[in-house]
Amino acid sequence: MIRLKRGEMAENVEELIAQYRDLLVQRSMEFARPSVANKLFDRNHAIHKILRESDEGRRAISGLMNDDVDAVRLTAAVHTLQWDPVAAEHVLEDIEAGPGIVGFNAKWTLREYRDGKLDLDW
């Protein structure tokens, strides 16, 4: 896991959020290769856990709920459920109304969240 010292977050949030987004874009193209997609997901989750520790990091993740790539919007919204559930649910509902695997994932994420079964602390 990536560790940053106090004071390093401000200069590294841009780099971390770029990595976070890039991993999600790569993952969206690797659904046919689950082992690759899972590794990308794990790397993204590790970065998420760092970013969520600061207001700046949380704002950066939340900002990706407006991304052009639905797979990025989806994961950013899932992570944003932890600190801004109203905004995140609206994004997930919007994605859920769309086609394909991303819409399907948004649907089931909302169900798990609303049933109290969504765990993002692993």
Q: What is the pLDDT of residue 4?
A: 47
104 φ, ψ to 5°?
A: -60, -45
| pLDDT tens sequence for the chain (122 residues) | 445 454 444 459 999 999 999 999 999 999 889 999 999 999 999 999 999 999 999 999 999 999 999 999 999 999 999 999 999 999 999 999 998 999 999 999 999 999 999 998 87
Q: Are 62 and 84 in contact (CB under 8 A)?
A: yes
- Please name the helix (run of DSSP H) or strand (run of DSSP E) that holds residue 42, with its range, or none: helix 34-51
Return the CA Rg of the chain: 14
The model carries a pTM of 0.88
What topology does CATH give the domain 6-115? 1.25.40
Q: What is the pLDDT of residue 11?
A: 57
Chain-centre distance for alpha carbon 41: 9
Q: What is the pLDDT of residue 9?
A: 47
Give, as one character, the DSSP assignment of residue 10: H
Q: Are 77 and 120 in contact (CB under 8 A)?
A: no
Any idea where the domains of the chain sit in the sequence? 6-115
Between CA 19 and CA 89 the distance in angstroms is 24
Between CA 29 and CA 57 the distance in angstroms is 25
